[in-house]
Amino acid sequence: MGDLASTCKDKLAYFRIKELKDVLIHLSLPKHGKKQELVDRILALLSDDQAQWHLGRGRKNAPSKEAVVKIVDDIYRKMQVHGPPDLVVSQSQLPVTTDFNRIIKAKKEQLGPDSGCLCGQSFVLGNVVKCDDCQVQQHMDCVLIPEKPAVGVRPEAPEHYYCQLCRLIRADPYWITIGNPLLPVRLITNDGMNVPQSVDRTFLLTRAERETVQRVEYDIQVWCMLLNDKVQFRMHWPQNADLQVNGIQVRVVPRPSTQLLGINGRDDGPVITTFCREGQNKIVLTSDDARPFCFGIRIAKRRTVDQVFFLPFTYLAIVVNCRRCKLFWLV
């Protein structure tokens, strides 16, 4: 068995029948049979050509080994981020009094301490900064971007640092994150120096997730934030942002696209539930704003006004928020 098949076999061992069927759906293969039969059907595509003929697929129509590996990797990575699809329902049944600490604890268990940087590397080495909430580590050069960078001068680690997902959790109390189909991705300039910035990504939506977001209180939301935003806990979209989901244009913010977001302003994340389908989806975000932004996609559940009102906030958090508001009014 080749290296590709061996690697995939190790990952498929963690898959349940639901995940195996998701892989087969993407490969346009029959999804009936016992678990081992489903695994063998996938691994056959990574072996010799005779196995593919045995599955009733000719050389012309058979998917490439790279395509099979990518599909398995995508679904495996999603399992590492927010667990198997049925966990979406179990997390949604958390009591109304769920606080930030419980959400962050679950996030820490899912991501692990050495993952979560915007660069996508599995292991974070070198100069890193650690999130105060979930303890995830990220490269300082990836996430700490000074407004006026100086050549040869490294950014200093702040006294308190929060990763992008923890900032998102605190950004809007009316939404609670259930899953992350697309983890934070940084907008990258085409030539590394000049605008415009653009990101082109695909993300998978399983059948269970699609069924979940059909319920009234659930939605798929695109979010964006400025990495070096002076207001940490808010969404923030770049100037002249152009967002497309599966080729459909999506309006990002109600304010004029050329208008900068003020210190007291807040952006929302557009809901894209109606534009998404089960399986593979494509999202493209472009902007001519040179500032460092990142964006992602989450499955979120709405809270009612009463639920937000009864959220448990500590005395210290209330004092900090009041001081922050006072500073905003003085600016």
What's residue 48's pLDDT? 56
DSSP letter for 158, please. Answer: P
Distance, CA of 321 to CA of 141 (rounded, Å): 29
Alpha helices in 55-180 (DSSP H): 65-82, 87-92, 100-111, 140-143, 164-171
What's residue 276's pLDDT? 94
CATH class of the region 87-330: mainly beta
What's residue 42's pLDDT? 86
What's residue 250's pLDDT? 94
Q: Which residues contact 61 (CB under 8 A, 6 or more apart)?
A: none
Distance, CA of 89 to CA of 97 (rounded, Å): 17
DSSP letter for 274, please. Answer: G
Low-confidence ranges of the chain (pLDDT < 50): 1, 50-55, 57-59, 82-100, 108-114, 315-316, 326-331
Check: CB of residue 170 under 8 Å from CB of residue 100.
yes
The alpha carbon of residue 213 and the mean position of all alpha carbons in its chain are separated, in whole angstroms, by 16
User: With a threshold of 0.85, does the pTM exceed it?
Assistant: no
What's residue 197's pLDDT? 83
Using CA atoms of 212, 70, 136, 220 in order, give the dihedral in degrees to the nearest 10: -20
Residue 12: closest CA among 47, 30, 37? 37
Instruction: Check for a shared fold between 3-82 and 87-330.
Output: no
For the chain, which residues make up each domain, given as ranges?
Answer: 3-82, 87-330
Is residue 109 classed as helix, strand or coil in its secondary structure? Answer: helix
Bridge partners, 175 (sequence order): 302
Bridge partners, 138 (sequence order): 129
According to CATH, the topology of domain 3-82 is 1.10.720
CB atoms within 10 A of CB 76: 18
Q: What single letter denotes the amino acid at residue 202?
A: T
What's residue 3's pLDDT? 67
Check: CB of residue 284 under 8 Å from CB of residue 219.
no
Is residue 170 classed as helix, strand or coil in its secondary structure? Answer: helix
Distance, CA of 219 to CA of 103 (rounded, Å): 18
Paired tokens of 215: 């319920």
